[in-house]
Amino acid sequence: MYKFCFLLFSFLIISTSSESFSDVYFQETENDNILEIPFEYVEGLIVIKATVNGEEGRFLFDNGATHSCFNKDFAKKSNVTFRKRTRITDGNNNRTYVRKANIKKIEIDKAIFSNTEAYLIDTKKFFPCDPVDGIIGASIINAVNWKIDFEKKKMLLSLKPFEGNGLKMKMDISSSSNSTFINFKLNKKPLRTKVDFGFKGELKVNRYKKRFSLRGIKTERRVGISSLSITGLGNIDTTRIIHRDFDLSHLEKQLPVSPEVTLTKYLKYDARIGLDYFKKYKLIVNSTSREYILSNPKPVSDQPLKSYGIKIYVTNGAYKIIQIKTNESFSSSVKLMSEITFIDGKPVTYFKGFCHFQNYLDQKKRNRESLSIRLKNSDKDIEIPFKKPLLKLVS
């Protein structure tokens, strides 16, 4: 069973070759068929409550997933039987088979979604220390309209589109995967971009489909694995991070917030825009009128956030380095997939499971403390500072 530490950024995307939206109706409401849905953040992503066959659960809100998903425990509690096998393509563009079922109804507050499909997956791969019961996917999200306040952690749900001032962006929904797309321009280059609330980052761009000149721009360079999806770890890649030096526009209107851009090789589409970018605004998602509205942009710093310069993945009790920031002082002392045997002078067996390890790292991060690691077959400790990454000018 795979587990990941908090240093590993993760997301889940599922696509199939069949498109369908759920039928939806409201139980009697007192507020003009507008429902207020509270939510929480888990690993920075939105999690809401929903009910299936009378059983309430916690679900990732993810329009990057074609349909909804349940884990095995919740499927058993809610009396949902998965029989048919279907082939899917995950967020790493890898194909695999999962079981699916037809769900009579899924309830979100007083909104009833009927005649929808669901897949059986292992959600513990993504949130091992704060497990969710499944995913509310695009076949439900795209059937209604949403008004999201990220700071207050609540959203409104309506059958009718919401009115709102702000930057209005046209979107379309793929008939093959239920995926939402917006046509942006990044530094004046067209970018057909998938909207993915299950992706915690801002803007990830396929550097082979869209080539940008980086001459004279300071970038952060990373080597290793940066993604985790339903089939496990992604591919080893060299990525460059551009911290808000590129302009993003839609229909010749520049967006108020320049995104943090990650240039990568392994991406199915031109680009993917994630939840961390939309958190910079108040957001309206008018699925039924095919429109997004962004308002109240937040001021952002053009400086990268502090972090450790490595990412660690834990599998079968082994602590391995899966990504390295190449411009750091320690970069030449570590190698990809090296196994760590000591952390801060403690053997890794000191940690009573993965969640104990994650809590330990979270506390060090809050205290802005350096991390000391020792690699297998070595007697030297390597200090990993908690700091802003070094940016290198591209010549």
Q: Which one of 295, 324, 345 terminates a domain?
A: 295
Q: Given this model, what pLDDT does residue 235 score?
A: 83
Q: Is residue 237 part of a domain?
A: yes
Domain assignment present for 5 = no
> For residue 5, is pLDDT > 80?
no
As a whole number, the mean pLDDT across the chain is 88
Return the pLDDT at 213: 83
% of the chain residues with pLDDT over 90: 67
For tokens 């809610």, what's the residue?
A: 78
Q: What's the per-residue H, E or C state across the chain? A: CEEECCCCCCCCCEECCCCCCCEEEECCCCCCCEEEEECEEECCEEEEEEEECCEEEEEEECCCECCEEECHHHHHHCCCCCCEEEEEEECCCCEEEEEEEEEEEEEECCEEEEEEEEEECCHHHCCCCCCCCEEECHHHHCCCEEEEECCCCEEEEECCCCCCCCEEEEEEECCCCCCEEEEEEECCEEEEEEEECCCCCCEEEECCCCCCCCCCCEEEEEEECCCEECCEECCCEEEEEEECCCCEEECCEECCCCCEEEEECCCCCCEEEEHHHHCCCEEEEECCCCEEEEECCCCCCCCCCCECCEEEEEECCEEEEEEEECCCCCHHHCCCCCEEEEECCEEHHHCCCHHHHHHHHHHHHHCCCCEEEEECCCCCEEEECCECCCCEECC
- Pair (148, 53) in one structural domain: yes
Closest CA to 60 of 190, 186, 230: 230
Judged against a pLDDT cut of 80, whether residue 25 lies above it is answered with no
- Does residue 383 share a domain with residue 331? yes
pLDDT of amino acid 254? 97
Q: What is the pLDDT of residues 262-320, one digit of tens each?
A: 999 888 889 999 999 999 999 999 999 999 999 999 999 878 888 999 999 887 789 99
Domain boundary among 295, 322, 343: 295
Instruction: Please tell me whether residues 273 and 251 are part of one structural domain.
Output: yes
Beta bridge partners of 77: none
Of 158, 184, 217, which one is at a domain's C-terminal end? 158
Could you tell me which residue, 77 or 13, shows the higher pLDDT? 77
CATH number at residue 372: 2.30.42
Residue 54 and residue 145 share a domain: yes
Averaged pLDDT for residues 121-143: 90
In a domain, 375, yes or no: yes
Q: Are residues 287 and 179 in the same domain?
A: yes
The number of domains in the chain is 3
Distance, CA of 228 to CA of 188 (rounded, Å): 31
**66 and 183 co-located in one domain:** no
CB contact at 8 A, 285 and 292 = yes
Say yes or no: 29 and 148 in one domain: yes
With bands split at pLDDT 50, 70 and 90, how would you rate the model's confidence at 115? Answer: confident
Domain span including residue 68: 10-158
Provide the 10 A C-beta neighbour count for residue 231.
17
Residue 290 and residue 315 in one domain: no
Q: Does 347 fall in a domain?
A: yes
Task: Pick the range with the lowest mean pLDDT from 19-33, 98-112, 188-202, 357-371.
Answer: 19-33
**Banded pLDDT at 86 (limits 50, 70, 90):** confident
Average pLDDT (245-273) is 94
Q: Is residue 394 part of a domain?
A: no
CATH number at residue 244: 2.40.70.10
Asked which of 29-33, 45-49, 112-116 is least confident by mean pLDDT, the reply is 29-33
Q: What is the pTM of this model?
A: 0.91
User: Is 340 in the same domain as 265?
Assistant: no
- Residue 303 in domain: no
Q: Which two tokens stand for residue 297?
A: 């942009």
* Average pLDDT of the residues in 249-259: 96
Q: What pLDDT, on a 0 to 100 scale, did the predictor assign at position 29?
A: 59
Is residue 22 domain-shared with residue 71, that is, in the same domain? yes
Choose between 344 and 358: higher pLDDT: 344
Quick check: is 393 in a domain? no
Return the pLDDT at 27: 74
pLDDT at residue 12, rounded to an integer: 46
The pLDDT of residue 335 is above 90? yes
Q: Residue 20's pLDDT is what?
A: 63
pLDDT recorded at residue 343? 96
Q: Are residues 245 and 320 in the same domain?
A: no
- For residue 13, is pLDDT > 60? no
Whether residue 354 has pLDDT greater than 90: no
Closest by CA to 111, choosing from 289, 294, 292, 287, is: 287
Residues 37 and 145 grouped into a single domain: yes
In a domain, 144, yes or no: yes
Kindly indicate the confidence band of residue 16, based on its pLDDT and cuts at 50, 70 and 90: very low
